[in-house]
Amino acid sequence: MRKIYVIGIGAGHPDHLTLQAAKAIGRTDVFFVLDKGEAKESMIELRRRMMKAYGRPSRRIAEGRDPDRDRTPTDYQGTVADWRHRRSEVTEALISEHLLDDETGGFLVWGDPSLYDSTTAILEEILARGQTLFEYEVIPAVSSVSTLAAKHRIPLNRVGRPFQVTTGRRLADEGWPAGVDDVIVMLDAQQAFTAHPDAHIYWGAYLGTEDELLASGPVSEVADEILRIRAEAREKHGWIMDTYLLRR
């Protein structure tokens, strides 16, 4: 039976890689790479370094082209489902072409595979089609959210209370979620925190990397500074990944 590892590699720091992940990289014959539009050079470089440090000398890389995706869709759920379906077809072709019997394949997933990542859903979709068979295992990792909390030296929840993880789009469209006072926001292209001046923000960009940026304080006091730092960093690097906790 062919085997596939879905390996979380952490959110940017080379030392985020767990021993379990390093061992799985060392057991992988073929790494599958879908060249994402958002996979910036430094993200690709980190993966290269990990493969070089822990991979087998005989490892192979099978690359596929990530299907294009409408970044500003009117039907968000439908567009994402369609994109995921097209990705699953590209991924299935890669697996059936490059992963031989009894070999082990691997996907190096940014952060932790359980957070806003479609790799496991794509593998399930492939298995459901019943044409390409394999077993797979997920290796957990340090996420951008756990890195954010560590860098600010805060817990995500307050005593006995829940928190919610959501996207910038949802926070902007639907407002503060009901039933929680602590909201973690990812994938925010619109700086949705500015609509919540009464909250306290713990913000971080390029977490774990050499370019890491941190800021915190009442949104009413630090929002302008975060917007300025964010815009400058985006200009400098050409891209940005940021995550924040809003607490009220």
Contacts to ligand SAM by CB under 6 A: 11-12, 110-112, 115-117, 143-144, 186-187, 204-208, 241-243
CB of 102 to ligand SAM, least distance (A): 30
Contact 126, 92 (CB under 8 A): yes
| Strand ranges of the sheet holding 164-167, from the earlier edge strand across to the other edge | 164-167, 182-186, 242-247, 200-205, 213-218
Measured from the CB atom, the residue of 59 and 237 that comes closer to ligand SAM is 237
Measured from the CB atom, the residue of 22 and 60 that comes closer to ligand SAM is 22
Measured from the CB atom, the residue of 92 and 242 that comes closer to ligand SAM is 242
Measured from the CB atom, the residue of 99 and 184 that comes closer to ligand SAM is 184
Measured from the CB atom, the residue of 107 and 110 that comes closer to ligand SAM is 110
Transcribe 138-192 into DSSP letters: EE----HHHHHHHHHT--SS-TT---EEEEHHHHHHH-SPTT-SEEEEES-SS-G
Looking only at the bridges linking them, the beta strands covering 3-8 and 135-139 are parallel
CB of 165 to ligand SAM, least distance (A): 10
CB of 57 to ligand SAM, least distance (A): 29
CB of 116 to ligand SAM, least distance (A): 4
Q: What is the C-alpha separation between 43 and 48, in angstroms, rounded?
A: 9
CB of 130 to ligand SAM, least distance (A): 28
Q: What is the C-alpha separation between 129 and 25, in angstroms, rounded?
A: 27
Residue with the CB atom nearest ligand SAM in the bound state: 111
Q: Which residues, at least 6 apart from 159, have a Cβ–Cβ distance to it below 8 Å?
A: none
